[in-house]
Copies of this chain bind each other. A is one copy, B any other.
Amino acid sequence: MKNVVSLKSLAKELNISVSTVSKSLNDSEEISAQTKERVKNLAKLRGYSPNPIAVRLQKQETMQIGVIIPNIENPFFASVLKGIDEIVSTSKYNIITFFSNESLEKEKECLDHFSRGNVDGILICIAEETNKKKTFDHIIDIKQKGIPLVLFDRIPMQPLGFDVVHVNDYDSIVSAYEYLEEKKCKNIAFVSSIPTLIVGRLREDGYLSKAKNPIVIAYEELSELQLTLQESLKEGKIDGLISADINATLLCNSAIQKQGLTYSNEISLIGYVNAAQNELSYPKITSIDQHPEEIGRQTAKALLLRLESKLENVPVNDIVLNTTITIGETSV
């Protein structure tokens, strides 16, 4: 039941050679208008479409872009992927998705698979474990294979020699801090469930650069974070919270509510959220918007640029995007 229409079958039916059929369909200058016409008509009639695998073998291109996402259940990454798809789907490439599930081992396997000739280019956000262990050799190795690679969101401190796309995490938190200051907050604490992630560190640094008497509440273990947070709020000193990630934001709001605090002069909250969900939630939280789809689009564009201009000496690009603050109901 497979598609049996091939160049060969068309050629036989038309009593001409395979090369002529191929050239006709590719609109080669070499072929007469009349022959092209005949070939194209029959091709359409028979529903011919070229075997993509054969074309790829011939062209020595896979027409595939490999994407490695740490965790697709994180809405930030889901939106980034959507942005990537938006750009890639207008190109000749397909997206092969892999999920590292934050595991270094899995990430290595993915890159290994990609580098065995399965993709023409790679888009990757490194896993949490990779981030912690600071093991980047498997990524650097890709350079030797000559496969263009673009890193997004979690960017190692030391440059690896690849294009990168990210937001300015440091400045984002500085802006958030300044925003809360405008709202007359005096004791602003920083809450994070990602203290070891690169982006988490940058955000913390941004906070520390502003706070005179810093209060950092940071645990990876959510239950621990929750407990400590509740304790800290009980003391009644804190009147502003900046949360460094989606989970921390949810816990902050939850702790505030449970404490019976109200979003007024009593306390304010700003943090990272899942934008779509936040829009409908109560209270709608004042948030730092990273514009994840835009990150995805820029990442994909950066790769396509490398793929199209085969120039090896294009300098490495460091693309920094701006975050914005979306006012909600948790800062009055």
A-side residues, CB < 8 A to B, are 1-3, 49, 51-54, 56-57, 60, 62, 64, 72-73, 75, 78-79, 81-82, 85, 89, 94-99, 116-118, 144-146, 222, 246-247, 250-251, 253-254, 257-258, 274, 276-277, 280-283
Contact check: which of B51, B56, B94, B247 meets A96 at CB < 8 Å? B94
Given A254-B280, A257-B282, A73 contacting B73 (CB threshold 8 A):
no
In the bound complex, residues from chain B placing their C-beta under 8 Å from that of A254 are: 280-282
A146–B2 CA distance with the chains assembled, in angstroms: 6
- List, in ascending order, chain B residues with CB within 8 A of A258's CB: 282
Closest Cβ–Cβ distance, residue A148 to chain B (whole Å): 11
Interface of chain A: mostly helix, strand, loop or mixed: helix
Option from B49, B78, B97 in Cβ contact (under 8 Å) with A73: B78
- Which chain B positions have C-beta within 8 A of A53? 53, 56-57, 62, 117
Q: What is the minimal beta-carbon distance from A1 to any residue of chain B, in angstroms? A: 3
A48 nearest CB neighbor, chain B only: B116
Given contacts A78-B75, A95-B96, contact A116 B49 (CB under 8 A): yes
**Chain copies in the assembly?**
2
In the complex, are the beta carbons of B75 and A73 less than 8 A apart? yes
B250 touches A281 (CB 8 A): yes
Q: With both chains docked as a complex, state the minimum distance between the C-beta of A66 and any C-beta of chain B, in angstroms.
A: 9
User: Which residue on B lies nearest to A293, using beta carbons?
Assistant: B73
Partner of A222 from the list B75, B79, B89, B280 (CB cut-off 8 Å) is B280
Chain B residues whose CB sits within 8 angstroms of the CB of A72 once the complex forms: 72, 78-79, 81-82, 85
A54 to B40, CA, bound (A): 28
Nearest B residue to A225, CB-CB:
B280
- Assembly CA distance A307 to B317 (angstroms): 43
Query: Do the beta carbons of A73 and B144 come within 8 Å of each other?
Result: no
B82 x A144 contact (CB < 8 A): no
Pair B98/A96 contact, Cβ less than 8 Å: no
Partner pick for A280 among B75, B79, B251, CB 8 A cutoff: B251
Q: Which chain B positions have C-beta within 8 A of A64?
A: 96
Residues of B within 8 A of A283 (CB): 257
Give chain B nearest CB distance to A106 CB in angstroms.
Answer: 8
Say yes or no: B56 contacts A85, CB within 8 Å.
Answer: no
Q: A78-B75, A277-B250 are in contact. Are A97 and B95 (CB under 8 A)?
A: yes
Asked whether A73 lies within 8 Å of B62 as measured between CB atoms, the reply is: no
Question: A268 to nearest B CB, angstroms?
Answer: 17
> A73–B117 contact, CB under 8 A?
no
Q: A53-B53, A53-B62, A99-B82 are in contact. Are A280 and B3 (CB under 8 A)?
A: no
| In the bound complex, CA of A62 to CA of B144 (Å) | 27
Pairwise interchain contact A144-B1, C-beta atoms closer than 8 A: yes
Chain B residue contacts of A60, Cβ below 8 A:
2
Question: A247: which of B75, B98, B280 is its contact (CB, 8 Å)?
Answer: B280
